A and B are shown apart, each in its own frame.
Chain A
Amino acid sequence: MGTRVISSTAAKLAAAAGLAAVAAYATVALAGPNDNELAVDGQKYMTEVPGAKDGPLEKVYSGWRFRNEATQAMQLDDFDNPGFTNVETGEQLWSTVDGEAGKSCESCHGDAAESMKGVRAQMPKWNEAAGKPLTLEHTINNCRTQNMKAAPWKWESNEMLSMTAFIGLQSRGMPVNVKTDGPMKAWHDKGKEIYYARVGQLDMSCSGCHEENYGKMIRADHLSQGQINGFPTYRSKWQKLGSIHRRFKGCMKNIRATPFKVGGDEFTALELYVASRGQGLSIETPAVRN
């Protein structure tokens, strides 16, 4: 109990310092990520790793490094991290029986801490039966419809966000490690094409903001590399957790482009490609952003 109080006070102090930093943003040019270290309960996270030799980025940074200290502080202590409300809900849902088969996730998978360890880090993953890569959301819904005979959850529902947060947490600290070879190659390449394509009335691509201009301010926003190692992520703008596809959709709408379908092949391919750009970054689920 004692440590809880101390650490949340520390977080509040850091938050106050962060607010001062926000005020300075307008005048001080931030040329890149800040140097803060991410550690939660003594466990350190890799927020900076060398980019792949043949890759587009010399250094790969987590989005956490581009947030101000007030936002960063919320992720330093799980008691201050609003995403944990969903984690708790997800933990309850894990062992809740649902559907005609009379099963819960736990009936088949047992202890999530063991069976779900590393799952988030490898998503999206090739699924032989489907003949395509599946995201974590797809996989969860497959289990619900096929194994539990339960109705699928809506992509952005509280249940789905809670379950992806809870499952994601079991990989926290593990490096992103998606496969891009074999049958995944075509999907990776498709995602890459989408990443570099200019779209919308503003005629911009993901790479324009997240590869060529990360580290710079775009009005009030400090551009990151647009990595997805922290998803689902709590965003103060959303006042809740949001999925990877919701974020993609938001970025596309901002440049006045018609987004691809949430859960569709294009966003799945894009998710795979963006994940591959962040290989080696620690999973931070549930991360906190603004």
Chain B
Amino acid sequence: MERVLSAAAVCLLTMGLVSQGVTAGPVTPAEVKISDGEIKTSLTGSAGSAVKGREWFKNRKLGNCLACHVNSELKEEQFHGEVGPALDGVAERWNEAQLRAIVVNSKIIFGEETMMPAFYRDGGFTRPLKKFKGKTILSAEQIEDIVAYLRTLKE
């Protein structure tokens, strides 16, 4: 009996859920803790995958980050937008907690006026299309994956 329990505990540990309690899923947008322009802990409790993050980053229906940002690491993609700054070397300008805050809600760092959407906010929008109402643009997992990917963008 003891053996079974501890195996379950190990499993929880590896899933990174222990610190948040067994039933807690990812942190909801309302629960996200922001201090001094930083979100220090992972939204899912575990580290994201940079490989997946790269996919979400370029996917037009998900991050669509290339709509506004040049990113030389994605040279094979044809069109890079110019609305925001180039993201080359971005990991050297911002730490992980800041990058997470930028992607979760760019307004925290850049102010209300920024063009960059908040990717992990689920309310406060005016006239959202019905199918996006109450939803975030990206899931907590996708945010963590993108943060992991951004961390690889060093000059």
Contacts and interface: CB of A to CB of B under 8 A. Distances in A.
A29 B85 CA distance: 13
A258 B81 contact: no
B126 A218 contact: no
A219 B82 CA distance: 8
A212 interface: yes
Contact of A257 (B78, B117, B128): B128
Interface string A216-242: 111110000000000000000000000
Nearest to A31: B82
A258 B128 contact: yes
Interface residues of A, number: 24
A217 B129 contact: no
Contact of B80 (A197, A199, A217, A258): A217
Contact of A201 (B60, B79, B80, B117): B117
Given A26-B80, A204-B115, A213-B115, A219 B129 contact: no
A26 B79 contact: yes
A290 to B, nearest CB: 13
B83 interface: yes
Main secondary structure of the interface of A (DSSP, over half): loop
A103 interface: no
A212 B125 CA distance: 21
- Which size class do B's interface residues fall under? 20 to 34
Main secondary structure of the interface of B (DSSP, over half): loop
Interface string B66-107: 111000000000111111000000000000000000000000
B82 A201 contact: no
B32 interface: no
A253 interface: yes
A127 B26 CA distance: 56
Given A26-B78, A26-B80, A219 B66 contact: yes
Contacts of B68: 218-219
A34 to B, nearest CB: 16
Interface string A189-213: 0000000011111111000100011
B83 A213 contact: yes
19 contacts: A26-B80, A199-B127, A200-B126, A200-B127, A200-B129, A201-B117, A201-B135, A203-B125, A212-B115, A216-B81, A217-B79, A217-B82, A218-B81, A219-B64, A219-B79, A219-B80, A258-B127, A258-B128, A258-B130
Given A201-B137, A219-B81, 4 more contacts: A203-B118, A208-B115, A220-B78, A252-B127
